Structures are given as C-alpha cells and as structure tokens.
Amino acid sequence: MTTAEPPAVAIEGVSHCYGRRQALNDVTFSITPSTFAVLLGLNGAGKSTLFSLITRLYAIQRGRIRIFGRDVGRASSEALRMVGVVFQQRTLDLDLSVVQNLTYHAALHGIAKHDGCARAEEVLARIALSDRANDKVRNLSGGQMRRVEIARALLHRPRLLVLDEPTVGLDIKSRADILRYVRRLVVEDGASVLWATHLIDEISDDDDVIVLHQGRVLAHGSVPRVLDAADAKDIGAAFTRLTQGTDAAIEAS
C-alpha cells in the first residue's frame, strides 16, 4: 500500500478580516509538491495576508491551512519547520554580516553554530555570494540582499519556499537571476515554491497559477487551464478579463 504525499500547501476555506474590511474570502486551493506556483494578484489582493497566515504571523480566523499535512493552526511548530520564507519587506539585520544573519536564522531553528556556519557556506556558494560572507548586509546591493534572504530561507532545509513579491524594486537582471535560481530549486531539489507577484512576465508556461483578486481566488491551475477559463490568448489578457469581470460583478451588486 502506498500513501499519497499530501499537498505542499492546502488552503481550505480561509477568510480573514481586518475589522470590517474583508481581506480574504473563502480562499481554497492546494499546491502539489515540487511545483512552482505563482500567486498572481494586484496590490491589495490579499497575497501578503495569505502569506502572514501561512507563516503564523496572523492567527487563522476561519478555515484551515496545512503544510505537507501539518495544520498551521494546531501544529504550527511542525508546519513552520518545513517552510522557508522571503518577505516582501527586507528583513535582514543591516548591521550584521551576511554570515551572522544566516547563523542567527540557524539558531532560531535550533541549529548549532558550527552546523549553521557549514550550511551558510553551502547556500552562499549556491547563490554565488561566498566572497561577501563577512560583509555587512548594509553594503550589499538590493539584488544581493534578496539572494541572501533566499539563502537564509533555505538554511534550515525547508520543503516549501514561500516568497512574497521577492523581485519588487530590483533591476531586470537581478529579477531574472532570482527567478532562475528559485526555479532551479524546484527542478534540481524538488522544492515546492509559492511565489506571490503582480508581474505577469514572471509566469512561465509550466507554472501553476492562482489568480487572487479582492480576496477571492478567481482561477487556479496550469497556465493553459487558466487561459481556457478566461478564454484568453495570454496570461495578461486572462488576468485582465478575470479581474474586470469580478469588478463589474461587484459594482453591479
């Protein structure tokens, strides 16, 4: 008998309000392990709220979130062990060196210093930043800081990587480098990735796409499936059609 592997992330009927304002409304979707899933939505769509719920920064008000079968609400410690997070906002300590930031993160996961240093060396080599290991983060470029944040997210060897608009504010080359690097993690290491963005050009044909608009999931599936659902030729047109349709429906009601 074989046991099917649970989804990397399973979001089930999640709703979230800030006072009277509803940020998420009955959001449901799941991501198959070892896939690159794009959470596509405009600013204010609810992407960051969803990320805060996945990472336990917010308490789940309604619904359920499971990471590889572990309930974030009930077994948050087990669930969070399997998640690496890159926030939209920079969260590195600017006054510490690159390697100090990484070993601090290792400590927060209960990883001893010598092991943390070895892992830091390993991930820094992967992102081609070994030569900057002892530099203060303050002296790095925006793209390099992002790479360090990704390295940090990978340090405790998570199975799921969640990135909230990680390319915001970066130049074209840095964006492409980071995207290529994260995609390689899926192919080479079998990592599962949830990548939030509002940039259509970051989506590739092989991706799993979740269109989030005004706190609701409008479409979910492979790119061809989303195109079929919207009856559009490209993902940009599909996104416009889906979101305009929803806006019109809301205005009409």
Partner 1 sequence: MTVELAAFPRVTGFAPVQYAICLKGIVWREGLRFLHQRERFVAALVRPLVWLFIFAAGFRQVLGVSIIPPYETYILYEVYITPGLMLLIQLFNGMQSSLSMVYDREMGNMRTLLVSPMPRWFLLSSKLVAGMAVSLPQVYTFLAIAWFWEIEAPPLGYIAVLPALVLSGLMLGALGMLMSSVSKQLENFAGAMNFVIFPMFFASSALYPLWRVREGSPLLYYVCELNPFTHAVELVRFALYCQINWISLAVVGGCTALFMVGAILAYDPSRGFLARRGEPGGGT
Residue ranges that bind partner 1, judged by CB under 8 A: 5, 18-19, 52, 55-59, 68, 75-83, 85, 87, 89-93, 95-96, 100, 103-113, 122-123, 125-126, 154, 156-159, 185, 188-191
Name the residue among 84, 97, 52, 90 with its Cα closest to residue 156.
Answer: 84
From the list 1, 18, 42, 82, the residue with the least C-alpha distance to 214 is 42
Residue whose CB is less far from partner 1, 55 or 174: 55
Q: Quick one: 65 or 203, whose CB is closer to partner 1?
A: 65
- The residue (of 41 and 116) whose beta carbon lies closer to partner 1 is 116
DSSP designation for 202: G
Alpha carbon 98 to its chain centroid, in Å, reads 22
Nearest to 147 by CA among 135, 120, 129: 129
Closest CA to 206 of 35, 83, 68, 47: 35
CB of 110 to partner 1, least distance (A): 3
Query: What is the DSSP track for 167-196?
Result: TTT--HHHHHHHHHHHHHHHHHH--EEEEE
Closest separation between CB of residue 201 and partner 1, Å?
Answer: 26
By beta-carbon proximity to partner 1, the closer residue of 59 and 248 is: 59
Nearest to 7 by CA among 64, 67, 78: 67
Which tokens belong to 161?
Answer: 């990587």
Minimum distance from residue 56 beta carbon to partner 1 (Å): 6
Residues 71/7, Cβ–Cβ less than 8 Å: no
Residue 68: CB minimum distance to partner 1, A: 8
Nearer to partner 1, 106 or 226 (CB): 106
Closest distance to partner 1 from the beta carbon of 253 (Å)? 25
